[in-house]
Amino acid sequence: MTRSGGRPTALLLTGVGRYADPWHPFPETTAALAGLLADAGIAVEVANDVDAALARLDPADLWPDLLAVNVGLPRDGRPSPGTVGAMRGLERWIEAGLPLLACHVSSTSFVDSQAWEEALGGRWVRGTSMHPEYGPAKILVQGCSGPLAGGIPDFEVQDERYSWLRTSPDVKVHAMHRHEGTLHPLLWSRTRGGARSFYDALGHDAASFEAPEHLEMLRRAIAWLVPDAGMQVAEYRNTAARPTQTPPTR
């Protein structure tokens, strides 16, 4: 059963207002995520005020079935989350063990909540983490990590390759990349008690969501996070023609 008793719901936080930045086209990546959630049979609410939406999570009777996060790091000198209510809402969600999907630059955000890193299983560390220049990325899928990645081949995608993220030792890594002789986790899941989280460090722009292998892993992650959506994890078959991808002008 869903929390509402009907169609599963998701609250999708996007990079608007103080959570936007000049480098990430949040409207296009959030649209891609919203489309994947809708295709899974999930009713999606895209929030136009991140802190206000988080504050709404404080009363338990308003909880959706999934919290999906695609936000940037505020650079206005204020806390993140930005209000007492927003902090309380985020941390109540995490304490309740409810499912969490987070993408790309979201690992830089909510720096004033230790619970955010614990739920995510890692984060971007300023001064340590980095990424090579945007461009073709070879993604190494860890098929042996379980059904979220099983049968999906390695693939190439136009994206940023986050490197030297801080990760918890108990995350299950589903895809990596190699940079300067080191393997760096990119997509991982974490189970903490009965709680489930999935982080996808890919997704800089819409080109990332043109890779069918990337889309398949996200579909499986959504099915794992929201079993009531009724999606099935099936054997991967790539029947789509790969589009030509052109790096953006930056």
pLDDT for the residue 6: 83
Domain that holds residue 173: 9-229
pLDDT for the residue 242: 39
pLDDT for the residue 231: 62
Residue 235 lies in a domain: no
Tokens read off for 142: 């860890």
| Number of independent structural domains in the chain | 1
Residue 243 lies in a domain: no
Residue 221 lies in a domain: yes
Helix ranges (H only) for 96-240 are 114-120, 212-225
Residue 238 lies in a domain: no
The CATH number linked to 83 is: 3.40.50.880
Residue ranges of the chain whose pLDDT lies below 50: 1, 234-235, 239-250
pLDDT for the residue 232: 54
